[in-house]
Amino acid sequence: MPEVILHIYDVTNSGSAKTNNTIVNINKIFKDGIGLGGIFHSAVQVYGDEEWSFGFCENGSGVFSCPPCKNPMYAYRESIALGETGFSISKVNQILRELSREWPGNSYDLLSRNCNHFCDQLCERLGVPKLPAWVNRFANAGDAAMEVAGNTALRLRQAKTEIVSASKVAYRFLATITSGSQSSPSPDSSPSASTSNRGSPRFQASWFRNLLPAPGVKLSGNPEIPDDDDGRPRQQTPEQLQQSEEHNFRRT
């Protein structure tokens, strides 16, 4: 069975010798030094003296071939044997024709649809392991970062919408309370209506104020506080407090 071989290049087609040297040094540090990854071009060889890869073009398929390890746009680095395919040469050619239609050149994207993604899919179709993770790690990390940034922006927009909606609800609630506190009760209001209003913020505030003693009055003992006609506790005058204390004293 024919062997499937992955050829890897340093990307040195920037048009600037300084930039190309920088990329080579990055690959040496991050791949050769710590095994993390780098900026690479890849191609797959199976049957014959051609390697297959993918690149950008305005029209037609982005799938192309060249002699193995001889791509003039990049600096050859190394080759990795991925395994053997059980497909015949005619089946492999069929797979390549299908991929040629599925990978037009104008669909190329540096982060999400580059030559390494194409080689991954070709290897999957051939039934051999995909590329080592370090080959395309930088592109995958960049694509993931873009996706995270997009999701974060979406969540921020959703949170802003929810805050605005909550603010509108709070404003309507406060406006209802304000309009209710400004309206005075009708003279012929029934006792049941008065009782039903006791849970309102207006009633609670008035009830709390009536609990406080008059200025300059010091409460002693536990005087019984009579109720007004509307059922609310009534504030007592100093004379009433004194009478209440004398009454309690006589009772004891």
Q: Catalytic residue, from 7, 41, 117, 123: name it.
A: 41
Q: Which residues contact residue 156 at a Cβ distance below 8 angstroms, ignoring those fewer than 6 apart?
A: none
Q: Is the pLDDT of residue 63 over 60?
A: yes
pLDDT at 143 over 80: no
**With 80 as the cut, is the pLDDT of residue 144 above it?**
no
Mean pLDDT, the chain, whole residue set: 75
Residue 151 has what pLDDT? 52
Kindly indicate the confidence band of residue 141, based on its pLDDT and cuts at 50, 70 and 90. Answer: low
Structure confidence by residue, pLDDT tens digits, 113-124: 999 999 999 999
Beta-carbon neighbour count of residue 217 at 10 Å?
12
Superfamily of domain 3-133: PPPDE domains (3.90.1720.30)
Which of 197 and 22 is assigned the larger pLDDT?
22
Q: Is 119 a catalytic residue?
A: no
Active site residue: 115, 117, 119, 123, which one?
Answer: 115
Note the pTM of the prediction, 2 decimals. Answer: 0.57
Give the alpha-carbon dihedral of 215, 221, 227, 233, to 10 degrees. 50
Q: Which long-range contacts (CB under 8 A, 24 or more apart) does 22-29 make?
A: 24/75, 27/77
Confidence class of residue 80 from pLDDT cuts 50, 70 and 90? very high
Bridge pairing between strands 75-84 and 40-45: unpaired
117 is catalytic: no
- For range 123-152, the mean pLDDT: 73
User: Of 87-101, 131-145, 168-182, where does mean pLDDT reach its minimum?
Assistant: 168-182
Whether the Cβ atoms of residue 121 and residue 99 lie closer than 8 Å to each other: yes
Better-predicted residue by pLDDT, 109 or 34: 109
The lowest-confidence range among 35-39, 58-62, 79-83, 157-161 is 157-161
Q: In the chain, where are the structural domains located?
A: 3-133, 136-182, 211-251
Pairing state between β 51-54 and 3-10: unpaired
